[in-house]
Amino acid sequence: MGDFPRMVALLKTVRRVAVLSHINPEADCIGAALGLTIALQEQGRAAVAYNADPLPRALRFLPGAGDFVQADRLPGGLDCVVVVDSGTPERVGGLLTGVAAPVLNVDHHKGNTRFGTLNWVVPEASAAGEMVFHLLRALEHPISPPVATNLYAAVLTDTGSFHYKNTSPEALRVAAALVEAGAVPGQISASLYAQRDAGELRLLSRCLTTLTLSRDGRVAWMEVSAADLAEAGLGQDALEGFIDYPRSIAGVEVALLFRGLGGDGIRVSLRSRGRADVAAVAATFGGGGHHDAAGCRVPGELAAVRGAVLAAVERELASAGGGERG
Ligand SMILES: [Mn+2]
* Position 326 in a domain: no
User: How far does residue 171's CA lie from ligand 1's centre (Å)?
Assistant: 12
Domain end call among 153, 177, 193: 193
State the pLDDT confidence band at 322, using cuts at 50, 70 and 90: low
Alpha carbon of 73 to ligand 1 centroid (Å): 23
For the stretch 84-93, pLDDT in tens is: 999 999 999 9
State the Cα–Cα distance between residues 81 and 179, nearest whole angstrom: 28
State the distance from the centre of ligand 1 to the C-alpha of 55, rounded, in angstroms.
Answer: 16
Domain assignment of residue 62, yes or no: yes
Tell me: pLDDT of 28 over 60: yes
Calculate how far, in angstroms, residue 292's C-alpha sits from the geometric centre of ligand 1.
12
Overall number of domains in the chain: 2
185 and 272, same domain (yes or no): no
Mean pLDDT of the chain, nearest integer: 95
Alpha-carbon torsion 122, 181, 10, 154, what sign? positive
CA of 227 to the centre of ligand 1 (A): 29
Q: Are residues 238 and 179 in the same domain?
A: no
The Cα 326–Cα 319 span in angstroms is 7
What is the pLDDT averaged over residues 103-129? 97
Which residues, 6 or more positions from 78, have their beta carbon under 8 angstroms from its beta carbon?
A: 16, 17, 18, 99, 101
pLDDT at 324: 42
Distance from residue 317's CA to the centre of ligand 1 (Å): 24
* 156: nearest Cα among 295, 122, 164, 62: 164
Whether residue 283 lies inside any domain: the answer is yes
- Taking only the tens place, the pLDDT of each residue in 184-198 is 999 999 999 998 889
Centroid of ligand 1 to alpha carbon of 326 (angstroms): 30
Domain end residue (candidates: 145, 160, 193): 193
From the CA of 85, how far away is ligand 1's center (Å)? 5
Structure confidence by residue, pLDDT tens digits, 52-73: 999 998 899 999 999 999 999 9
Identify whether residues 9 and 156 lie together within a single domain: yes
> Are 55 and 13 part of one and the same domain?
yes
270 and 145 part of one domain: no
Distance 57 CA to ligand 1 centre (A): 19
Between the CA of 88 and the centroid of ligand 1 the distance, in Å, is 13
**For the packed helices 169-180 and 145-158, what is the interaxial angle rounded to 10 degrees?**
150
Nearest-10 Cα torsion for 39, 98, 106, 88 = 140
Q: Which of 193, 213, 236 is the last residue of a domain?
A: 193
Task: Tell me the residue range of the domain where 177 lies.
Answer: 4-193
Q: Is residue 229 part of a domain?
A: yes
Structural domain includes residue 21: yes
